[in-house]
């Protein structure tokens, strides 16, 4: 795993940050209640009683001895493709920076100074060969092995090294960048192998990670499952186990076991400010691994269901703005043109709260659920629309990486109108560029709109799922929201061409 520190993930109208070190091929690869007795007059309610463990933990030596023959080191020879690099004169190699990069001019001047040629001459660098190392584990007696996609990415040769030192050349059977999983195969029979867990592990369960950190091979660390269902920045999968067993560079693709010797997850990333273990690592859970691996073993790649909507999480403000009791679900920004969702009647502003009766907590939950469905299958969406629940059946398509996103048709530009203040601290003017809605020209810095992150230049497209093109329409829509007894308006706004829903508090409605 080549550790790469993920930068702060910026979200419009809200920010969250998760620093991650994730593996990328190129270097070594792998992050009772007690108290006074109750009296006859006073009885404690809901007191927690922890069941006593059947046996005190005596160590993991027997477990490790049993599973280590099936855990392997993955050695990779790989090539990065040719790339254009900036060069000055002499032997000075310019970093490959875009012209708008803040250090582009600096390095160009540096090249001028030391090479006399400047930094804008380009030549193609030869493909770069490199070695990488990671971990994996055998899942069948005939030689199928699971590892991470980033461990074998760009590999020209994959070598599997067993704990006893035996080496075998492996063939890549299939990879899935979305879940960062890969299957390779060696020739053999009656090989030692391990199985996936049969009963889902729980937070607090003991786990043991075995792998090849820093190329050391056969290293064992222990800890517990710290959390489940983690969504980590930079991943479009987002359902990781969090463990506190030490995981470092080179552990990528290696297994995490429960105390029965069953694989509970595949180690794939760590959280770290410095590149080393700090006690927070992430593993792809066994339930996902089994599903993906079964498809990869066929050699036909992965197929996923496709709904065709852009979505976002439902915040409390959004829920308040549409009369939804709980801030859960995924709100549809726009259905893609000619997508399965659009053809079935899904609309912008619809909130998907369940799929086939399974509750949806957030946008990532909807994406995972739909991706787990078979293409051409029919699903029933439970949708919150206009203050009521409805159901829509959708026949899914097939997800492709380059699924086209259609642009909505642009309305006729309105006539020039002077900016006008609104009742919520926004000074608005009809959008003159033909994209519709109202442009924010000024904001009262003490208003709820400023607090929610609205900015000058944002476009207000809809209020309560109704298009607005004038300030009068905007105020009428706000009044209609208050008339419903709601104190938060659902606003559909756009910034930089990206639409998003925001719940805008309206005060006490007076």
Q: What is the pLDDT of residue 129?
A: 80
Q: What is the pLDDT of residue 110?
A: 43
Quote the percentage of the chain above a pLDDT of 90: 45
Report the greatest alpha carbon distance in the chain: 92
In tens, the pLDDT along 437-456 reads 889 989 998 888 889 999 88
Active site residue 442: no
User: Taking Cα atoms as reference points, which of 158, 173, 23, 160 lies closest to residue 77?
Assistant: 158
Q: What is the pLDDT of residue 491?
A: 92
- The active-site residue out of 150, 272, 367, 422 is 150
Q: Give dist(CA 251, CA 161) in Å, integer.
A: 14
Q: Give dist(CA 39, CA 325) in Å, integer.
A: 41
Q: What is the pLDDT of residue 412?
A: 37
Q: Give dist(CA 33, CA 49) in Å, integer.
A: 8
Active site residue 180: yes
Q: List the beta strands (DSSP E) in 468-510.
A: 488-495, 498-505
- The active-site residue out of 73, 135, 176, 180 is 180
Does this model's pTM top 0.85? My answer is no
Q: Give dist(CA 89, CA 113) in Å, integer.
A: 9
User: Taking Cα atoms as reference points, which of 239, 438, 280, 314 lies closest to residue 14?
Assistant: 314
The angle subtended at Cα 282 by Cα 276 and Cα 284, nearest 5°, is 145
Q: The tokens of 370 are what?
A: 């739909």
- The active-site residue out of 28, 252, 367, 494 is 252
Active site residue 16: no
Q: Give dist(CA 173, CA 176) in Å, integer.
A: 11
Q: The tokens of 171 are what?
A: 């063939």
> Distances from the Cα of 289 to the Cαs of 220, 263, 398, 478, 507, in angstroms?
21, 10, 20, 48, 48
Q: What is the pLDDT of residue 12?
A: 42
> How many Cα neighbours within 13 Å face the side chain of 148?
36
Q: Give dist(CA 463, CA 490) in Å, integer.
A: 6
Element (H, E) at 363: helix 363-371
Q: Give dist(CA 335, CA 354) in Å, integer.
A: 17
From the CA atom positions of the chain, what is the Rg in Å? 28
Q: Give dist(CA 28, CA 42) in Å, integer.
A: 61
Burial group, residue 91, by CB count within 10 angstroms (0-12, 13-18, 19+): exposed
Q: What is the pLDDT of residue 124?
A: 59
Q: The tokens of 405 are what?
A: 């996103």
Which residues, given as ranges, of the chain have pLDDT below 50?
Answer: 1-40, 42, 56, 84-97, 102-104, 106-107, 109-120, 404-415, 509-510
């Amino acid at each position: 795993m080549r550790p790469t520190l993920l930068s702060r993930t910026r979200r419009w109208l809200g920010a969250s940050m998760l620093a991650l070190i994730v593996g990328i091929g190129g270097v070594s690869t792998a992050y009772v209640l007690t108290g006074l007795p109750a009296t006859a007059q006073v009885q404690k309610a809901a007191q927690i009683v922890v069941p006593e463990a059947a046996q005190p933990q005596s160590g993991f030596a027997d477990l490790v001895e049993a599973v280590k023959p099936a855990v392997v080191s993955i050695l990779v020879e790989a090539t990065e493709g040719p790339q254009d690099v900036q060069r000055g004169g002499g032997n000075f190699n310019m970093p490959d920076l875009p012209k708008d990069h803040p250090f582009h001019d600096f390095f160009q001047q540096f090249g001028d100074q030391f090479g006399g040629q400047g930094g804008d001459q380009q030549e193609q660098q030869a493909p770069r060969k490199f070695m990488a190392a990671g971990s994996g584990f055998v899942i069948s007696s005939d030689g199928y092995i699971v590892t991470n996609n980033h461990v074998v990415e760009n590999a020209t040769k994959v070598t599997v090294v067993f704990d006893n030192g035996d080496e075998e050349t492996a063939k890549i059977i299939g990879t899935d960048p979305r879940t960062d999983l890969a299957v390779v195969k060696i020739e053999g029979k009656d090989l030692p192998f391990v199985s996936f867990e049969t009963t889902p592990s729980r937070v607090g369960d003991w786990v043991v990670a075995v792998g090849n950190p820093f190329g050391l091979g056969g290293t064992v660390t222990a800890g517990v499952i710290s959390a489940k269902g983690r969504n980590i920045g930079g991943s479009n999968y987002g359902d990781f186990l969090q463990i506190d067993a030490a995981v470092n560079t080179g552990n990528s693709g290696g297994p995490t076991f429960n105390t029965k010797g069953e694989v509970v997850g595949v180690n794939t990333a760590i959280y770290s400010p410095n590149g080393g273990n700090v006690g927070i690592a992430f593993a792809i859970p066994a339930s996902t691994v089994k599903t993906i691996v079964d498809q990869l073993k066929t050699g036909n790649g992965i197929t996923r269901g496709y709904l065709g909507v852009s979505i976002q999480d439902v915040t409390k403000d959004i829920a308040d703005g549409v009369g939804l009791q709980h801030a859960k679900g995924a709100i549809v920004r726009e259905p893609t043109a000619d997508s399965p969702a659009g053809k079935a009647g899904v609309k912008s502003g619809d909130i998907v709260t369940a799929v086939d009766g399974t509750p949806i907590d957030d946008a990532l939950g909807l994406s995972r659920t739909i991706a787990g469905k078979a293409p051409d299958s029919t699903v029933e969406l439970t949708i919150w629309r206009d203050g009521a629940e409805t159901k829509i059946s959708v026949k899914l398509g097939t997800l492709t990486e380059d699924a086209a996103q259609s642009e909505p048709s642009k309305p006729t530009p309105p006539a020039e109108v002077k900016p006008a203040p609104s009742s919520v601290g926004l000074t608005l003017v009809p959008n003159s560029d033909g994209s519709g809605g109202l442009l924010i020209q000024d904001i009262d810095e003490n208003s709820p709109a400023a607090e929610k992150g609205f900015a000058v230049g944002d476009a207000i497209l809809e209020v309560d799922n109704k298009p607005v093109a004038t300030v009068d329409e905007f105020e009428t829509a706000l009044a209609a929201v208050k008339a419903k007894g709601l104190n938060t308006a659902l606003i559909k706004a756009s910034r930089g061409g990206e639409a998003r829903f925001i719940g805008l508090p309206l005060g006490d409605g007076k």
